[in-house]
Amino acid sequence: MTGINDLRGVKRVGWNETGVFFRQLKETGPAAARCSLQAVFLAIVILVCLLQPIILRSSARSSSRSSSRSGGDIGKISDAFAKYVRATDSRNNSELQRGQDLLWVDSLPEAARQKAYADLSRGEIQLEQRTTRESGREIPCPQCMIHHWEGLVFIPGARLNDVLHILQDYNHHAEYYAPDVVRSQIEARDGDHYRVFLRFRRQKVITVVLNTEHEINYYRDSALGAHSRSSATHVAEVENPSKPKEREKPREEDNGFMWGMETWWRMEEKNNGVYVQSEVVSLSRDVPAGLGWMIGPFVTAVPKESLTLTLEATRKAVLARLRSKNLG
């Protein structure tokens, strides 16, 4: 890993878990209070929409000034992320070689493990925030943030090949994983190795569109198990998406919402279904001073929400495939 733009060249009160404002007034409260709350919220939304272009330009200028003041910052960020990814890769490889506790819930104490499996069987998604350490110490990332989440979902009645078919069907990922994925295409394939283009659209108060390319390898571990490793080789924020003046922003001009993305998938067929686990490590710039109220929720919440949507969409697509096969 030699760069972070194009690597090929080198519960709060009043908010739910997805960050969407919800009503806190009691049903018996005055109607005027409800209207007042709705009016305030509408005013906030309008204000954000009006100020968004100004704020984003300010953020971009701030990022550009920061880069010009310290030309080595980008390299330090890239090195820190590469170090974090190498350590995470090492842990994943060690677990796969041992062939035990391949699902993260299997390493939980017995009572917690049984509860997790019961929740999974009821359709719940199990999520945990992770932190990779080196020799017991945190891996620092100067002027950047590393987001590390792992999730697990159970797909009843599925077989391993059903899941692999959906995951490897990249030409249709824009259908399976909408609205997060708006464009998808296999650029090259050699057996179990894929090079894939994905355009992400991520929204939380503000909307960000990203062009990404990924190198992905799949491995069949047994008749009932498989895993894959995906690495983003190109990440670029898109300006004026789907318009005549569309362009990819160079690193010194973008807002730093995502600078890197690494993913580890594991699939295990058992209990009359398939457990699908995804671990994602992503990189973003640190939140600029004064813009935390707007950019902070996007940078910190979107990685978790995107992983949840991905696992839910995977289950939905696999189950739809099963229904289609049964009808046929």
CATH number of the domain encompassing residue 167: 3.30.530.20
Q: Which of 314, 284, 294 is nearest to 53 (CA)?
A: 294
Residue 28 predicted with pLDDT over 50: no
Which two structure tokens, joined as six digits, stand for 53? 């272009």
Q: Which residue has the tokens 């295409």?
A: 185
Residue 64 in domain: no
Residue 30 in domain: no
Which two structure tokens, joined as six digits, stand for 226? 């498989």
Average pLDDT rounded to a whole number, residues 6-19: 35
Residue 67 in domain: no
Q: How many domains does the chain have?
A: 1
Residue 109 in domain: yes
**Which residues contact residue 309 at a Cβ distance below 8 angstroms, ignoring those fewer than 6 apart?**
177, 180
Residue 266 in domain: yes
Residue 306 in domain: yes
Q: What is the pLDDT of residues 58-71, one digit of tens each?
A: 444 444 444 443 44
Q: Which domain holds residue 126?
A: 72-327
Q: What is the pLDDT of residues 262-297, one digit of tens each?
A: 999 999 999 999 999 999 999 998 865 555 445 555
Residue 93 in domain: yes
Residue 59 in domain: no
pTM flag (> 0.75): yes
User: What's the mean per-residue pLDDT of the chain?
Assistant: 81
Count CA atoms closer than 13 A to 79's CA, side-chain side: 7
